Copies of this chain bind each other. A is one copy, B any other.
Amino acid sequence: MNPAIPNITDAESQVMAVLWEQAPRSSEEIVAALADTGWHEKTIRTLLNRLLGKQAVAADRHGRRYLYRPLLSREQWQSQESRSLLDRVFGGRVAPLLAHFSRHEKLSDKDIAELRALIDAIERKVR
């Protein structure tokens, strides 16, 4: 079986975000980048280790430390999460999701313009 796509928890995803922004980075840099979370340095190292275990990141020895880099891409993660929401909450169909947003979320003019542009692009590609 291929390395079953790992489940990233919420806290873990914030660590991934740091690596998606820039990699490779040392744990020290990662800790620094997460200063605003208020997490203890130990906590962040734990999260890094869990991500290693899940093979969501890799660590390459570089002198005495490791340099971490993501193995799971942000796009892959977004896909998993989106699909999960779609399946769990909207019966697996996209339209009801957007319908929901259109009814319950405030879509800015910009949102709407972007959506229209996207639909146009999709339709052009499909036809």
Interface residues of A (CB under 8 A from B): 10, 13, 75, 77-79, 81-83, 85-86, 88-90, 93-95, 97-102, 104-105, 107, 109-112, 114-116, 118-119, 121-123, 126
Contact = CB atoms under 8 A, between A and B. Distances in A.
Query: Chain A's interface: helix, strand, loop or mixed, by majority?
Result: helix
**Copies of this polypeptide in the complex:** 2
4 closest residue pairs by CB, A with B: A95-B114, A85-B85, A81-B89, A94-B111
A33 to B, nearest CB: 16
A77 B89 contact: yes
Contacts of A121: 102
A75 to B, nearest CB: 7
B82 A99 contact: no
A99 B114 contact: yes
